[in-house]
């Protein structure tokens, strides 16, 4: 699998020990963790009243278990979730968020726990190249990748299901193996994945980041299983 785990630089507060002005870590440990979640496969999968799966849902469940916390799930749009985080009505938010976000002034994002990239994959390893000019490349219609591919010199072939496409395809890196593709040297997009917490709760933030730092193998395994087409 060709994902890249981002390094998490855990920076202690100037006083030496991170602190929570609102006491989030102390309140949540052996208590209840309020988690906002919005739909974003494969990171979060929502069905019914509770998230059913996804990389970040499963990570949060394991994190809660590590601090003996119960989870109160709150589903909503990004705007609703981030608004609640800003007002400290939620302790944590997940939903496939990237470090490049207009909400960064409202909430605190963790250091990236994972970096993924979108590329053009080809069936034959001998065809890997950084030149896709004139190459016919399948891409799912109505997606960001379709728009990004159209800005290159490739010839986009719009499909409704990338798993049924033949030949070269524009895909996220975690799909390459399952689709039997080899990555070219073309990077259409790179994404640093993060979670969100309220501003200022540094002990809470550091505890979460330390958990993510210690889970590289689990994160990789989850993406391989949850990210299948």
Quick: pLDDT tens for 68-96: 999 999 999 999 999 999 999 999 999 99
pLDDT digits (tens, 9 = 90+) for 114-167: 999 999 999 998 888 889 999 999 999 999 999 999 999 999 999 999 999 999
Give the CATH fold of the 24-115+192-226 domain. Answer: D-Maltodextrin-Binding Protein; domain 2 (3.40.190)
Least Cα distance to 44 among 96, 104, 121, 113 occurs for 96
CATH architecture group of domain 116-190: 3-Layer(aba) Sandwich (3.40)
- What letters, b where the CB count within 10 A reaches 16 and e where it falls short, cover 63-92? bbeebebebeebbbebeebbbbbbeeebbb
Q: Give me the pLDDT at residue 174, please.
A: 92
Beta bridge pairs of residue 71: 33
Question: Is residue 101 predicted with pLDDT exceeding 90?
Answer: no
Question: Is residue 6 predicted with pLDDT exceeding 80?
Answer: no
Question: Is residue 186 predicted with pLDDT exceeding 50?
Answer: yes
Q: Give me the pLDDT at residue 19, please.
A: 84
Same fold, 24-115+192-226 and 116-190: yes
Question: Is residue 9 predicted with pLDDT exceeding 70?
Answer: no
This prediction has a pTM of: 0.87
Where are the domains positioned within the chain?
24-115+192-226, 116-190
Give the CA-trace dihedral at 205, 206, 211, 214, to 10 degrees: 140
């Amino acid at each position: 699998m060709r994902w890249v785990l981002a390094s998490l630089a855990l920076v202690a507060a100037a006083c030496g020990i991170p602190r929570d002005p609102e006491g989030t870590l102390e309140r949540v440990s052996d208590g209840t963790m309020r988690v906002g979640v919005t739909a974003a496969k494969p990171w979060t999968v929502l069905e019914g009243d509770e998230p059913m799966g996804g990389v970040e849902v499963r990570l949060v469940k394991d994190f809660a278990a590590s601090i003996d916390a119960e989870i109160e799930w709150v589903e909503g749009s990004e705007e609703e979730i981030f608004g609640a985080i800003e007002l400290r009505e939620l302790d944590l938010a997940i939903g496939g968020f990237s470090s490049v976000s207009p909400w960064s002034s409202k909430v605190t994002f963790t250091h990236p726990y994972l970096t993924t990239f979108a590329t053009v994959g080809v069936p034959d390893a001998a065809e890997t190249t950084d030149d896709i000019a004139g190459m016919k490349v399948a891409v799912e219609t109505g997606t960001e990748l379709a728009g990004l591919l159209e800005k290159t010199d490739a010839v986009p072939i719009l499909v409704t299901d990338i798993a049924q496409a033949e030949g070269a395809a524009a895909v996220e890196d975690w799909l390459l193996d399952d689709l039997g593709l080899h990555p070219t040297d073309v990077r259409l997009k790179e994404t640093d994945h993060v979670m969100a917490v309220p501003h200022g709760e540094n002990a809470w933030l550091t505890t979460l980041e330390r958990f993510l730092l210690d889970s590289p193998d689990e994160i990789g395994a989850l993406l391989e299983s949850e990210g299948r087409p």
